[in-house]
Amino acid sequence: MILCQVEELEREMEEQEVQASVALQEETRKLRVQNQELRHQLVALQVQSPAVQDLNQELNQELNQDLNQDLNQEQQNLKTKLSQLQAELLQVQHLREQEQQRRSRELEEEQRRSRELEEQQRRSRELEEEQRRSRELEEEQRRSRELEEEQRRSRELEEALRLQAQQSSSHISMKQVRGQRSPGWLRATDWFRVT
């Protein structure tokens, strides 16, 4: 918005400068034409008498003086207007610089926010990755504990089976030993069964 106003003001200043220059040229041309017409009139009325020549010279001096005064006044007016335009131009340039600085600050703020957003996204991804790894580690630890528990139970079962096998083997061995040590008793038992 401010930049558009600045550009519009610059265009108006340029148009004013062009208009002032054209006006000065037109005024100068009119004065020159007027001076030329007066000169022609004086030439037409000029005679050889010293009084007329003196009058002619005096009129020429007055015309030149008036012309110089008009030109000086016009130049002074143009200088004044030029000073005003230069002051307005400086103000426009100052406004433009302020607008550029404002845009620069806004751009820097946007870039800062963009960097902060990227940093937050990066941290969020890292946190998610860390959480995922933590869950995987917990899952691996859980599986490891379950495997260890299964191995412990398997060992306990093997040990129980081994003890049971040993007990069974010992029991059988004891029966065999008893059988070998009392054959008479067994035969007597058999005799009673027969009778």
Burial class (CB in 10 A: 0-12, 13-18, 19+), 17: middle
The pLDDT of residue 74 is above 70: yes
The pLDDT value recorded for residue 185 is: 44
The percentage of residues in the chain with a pLDDT greater than 70, rounded to a whole number, is: 76
Counted residue by residue, the chain has a size of 195
The pLDDT value recorded for residue 108 is: 94
The pLDDT value recorded for residue 86 is: 87
Whether 137 is covered by a domain: the verdict is: no
150: number of Cβ within 10 Å: 10
Whether 61 is covered by a domain: the verdict is: yes
Would you state the structure tokens that stand for residue 69, as one six-digit string? 């005064």
Confirm if 52 and 46 have CB atoms less than 8 A apart: yes
16: number of Cβ within 10 Å: 15
Out of 62-66, 156-160, 175-179, pick the least confident: 175-179
The pLDDT value recorded for residue 78 is: 84
Q: Which of these, 19, 14, 22, lies nearest to 88 by C-alpha position?
A: 14
Whether 65 is covered by a domain: the verdict is: yes
**Angle ∠(152,158,159) on CA atoms, nearest 5:** 90
Taking the alpha carbons at both ends of the chain, their separation in whole angstroms is: 135
The pLDDT of residue 194 is above 60: no
Whether 102 is covered by a domain: the verdict is: yes
Q: Which of these, 45, 78, 38, 82, lies nearest to 61 by C-alpha position?
A: 38
Q: Which of these, 83, 102, 93, lies nearest to 6 by C-alpha position?
A: 93
The pLDDT value recorded for residue 45 is: 65
| Structure-token match 């083997």, residue found | 169
| Total count of domains within the chain | 1
**Which has the higher per-residue pLDDT, 69 or 45?**
69
The pLDDT value recorded for residue 54 is: 67
What domain range is 37 assigned to? 2-129
DSSP-assigned letter for residue 48: S
Q: Please give the Cα distance from 86 to 84 (Å, whole number).
A: 5
Computed over every residue of the chain, the mean pLDDT equals 79
What is the tens place of the pLDDT at every residue in 28-66?
Answer: 888 888 878 877 777 766 554 556 566 667 767 777 777
pTM above 0.75, yes or no: no
The pLDDT value recorded for residue 181 is: 55
**Which has the higher per-residue pLDDT, 38 or 179?**
38
Whether 40 is covered by a domain: the verdict is: yes
Would you state the structure tokens that stand for residue 146, as one six-digit string? 């379950």
Whether 145 is covered by a domain: the verdict is: no
Number of helices (H) and strands (E) in the chain: give both, helices first: 3, 0
What is the tens place of the pLDDT at every residue in 79-128?
Answer: 888 888 888 888 888 988 999 999 999 999 999 999 999 999 999 999 99
Whether 185 is covered by a domain: the verdict is: no
Whether 50 is covered by a domain: the verdict is: yes
